[in-house]
């Protein structure tokens, strides 16, 4: 066998390892229901859940409880299926959290009742849509 072939095989082997770990380490998008099912099956892998913050009838965000030392908090999130879930985040409340249009939490169920987020991504209202021109000028 020529050396070139050996190198070629080596490259292919490394590439395959990369592909397999990428797929293996890739997270998934779940709903709270499927995420809870995963927890019950004993899968602890962090997953992504997309949803919104729970809002009252008047459109005010409710259910944010900040711990007394202000370094962590709880909130209630509603996923795209409409399931409500209490979520804990071990970080201070991110800036303009309450204004987020869409929230992605990355984490897993800690208990049957509580979802713990390791990371939160927020989609805030884009500057373009939000600004009301009439308020800005007059």
Partner 1 sequence: MINTFVGNLGHFSVILAFVSALVSAFAYYQYTTVSELEKPNWRRFSRISFYIHSVASISIAISLFEIIYSHRFEYFYAYSHSSKALPVHYMISSFWEGQEGAFILWIVWNVVLGLILIHTNKFWEGPVMLVFALVQAFLVSMILGVVIGDLKIGSSPFILLRDAVSAPVFSINPEFVPEDGTGLNPLLQNIWMVIHPPTLFLGYASTLVPFAFLMGGLWTKKYSEWVRPALPWAQFSAMILGMGIIMGAYWAYVTLNFGGYWNWDPVENAVYVPWLILVAAIHTMITFKKSSTALKSSIVLVIASFILVLYATFLVRSGVLGDSSVHSFTDLGLSGQLLIYMLFFLFVAIFLAAKNWKNIPTSEKEASVYSREFWIFIGATTLALMAFQVILPTSIPVWNALVESFGGISNMAPPADQVGFYTKFQLWFAVALALLTAVGQFFWWNKMDGKKLREALAMPYVVSVIISAGIIVLGKVYDLSYIVVVLAGTFTIVANATILFKLLKKSTFKLAGGSLAHIGLGMILIGVMFSSGYSEIISYNMSGLTYSNSWEDELNKEHVLLWINKPTQIKDYTAVYKGRQKKLEGVPGYVSVNLLEPTGNVNEAIALDDIVVRGRTYHQKGDKVGIVLEENDYFRIDYFKDEEFQFTLNPMSQYNVNMGLISSPDSRRFVNKDLYTFVSALNDFDDPEWRDDEFYEVSPGETFFIADFVTTFEGGEVVEELDGMVLKEGDVAVKANLVIQDFGVEKRLQPIFIIRGNQLGKIPAIDNELGIKVEVENIVPESNKFSFKVNRYQKDYVVLKAIIKPQINVLWAGTIIMLIGFCVAIYRRYDEFSKMRDKGLE
Q: Give the C-alpha separation, 57 to 19, whole Å.
A: 47
Among 6, 9, 11, 37, binds partner 1 (CB under 8 A): 11
Per-residue CA distances from 49 to 16, 23, 72, 107 (Å): 29, 18, 20, 8
Among 15, 16, 37, 40, binds partner 1 (CB under 8 A): 15
Bin 104: left if φ > 0, else alpha if -120 < ψ < 50, else beta. beta
The reply on whether position 35 binds partner 1 by CB under 8 A is no
Region near partner 1 per CB under 8 A, out of 42-50, 55-63, 75-83: 42-50
The reply on whether position 47 binds partner 1 by CB under 8 A is yes
The reply on whether position 41 binds partner 1 by CB under 8 A is no
Token pair of 78 as six digits: 């509603």
Among 19, 43, 62, 80, binds partner 1 (CB under 8 A): 19
Q: Give the C-alpha separation, 89 to 103, whole Å.
A: 13
Pick 46 or 63: Cβ nearer partner 1: 46
Token pair of 33 as six digits: 């229901």
The reply on whether position 104 binds partner 1 by CB under 8 A is yes
The reply on whether position 63 binds partner 1 by CB under 8 A is no
Among 1, 57, 60, 95, binds partner 1 (CB under 8 A): 95
Token pair of 136 as six digits: 């800005």
């Amino acid at each position: 066998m020529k050396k070139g072939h050996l190198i070629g095989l080596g490259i292919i082997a490394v590439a395959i390892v990369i592909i397999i770990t990428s797929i293996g380490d890739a997270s998934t998008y779940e709903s709270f229901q499927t995420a809870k099912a995963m927890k019950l099956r004993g899968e602890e892998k962090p997953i992504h859940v997309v949803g919104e913050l729970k809002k009252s009838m008047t459109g005010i965000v409710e259910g944010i409880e900040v711990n007394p030392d202000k370094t962590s908090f709880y909130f209630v999130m509603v996923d795209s299926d409409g399931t409500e879930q209490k979520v804990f985040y071990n970080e201070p409340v991110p800036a303009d959290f309450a204004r987020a249009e869409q929230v992605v939490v990355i984490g897993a169920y800690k208990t049957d009742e509580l979802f713990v987020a390791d990371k939160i991504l927020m989609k805030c209202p884009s500057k373009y849509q939000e600004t009301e021109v009439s308020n800005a000028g007059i």
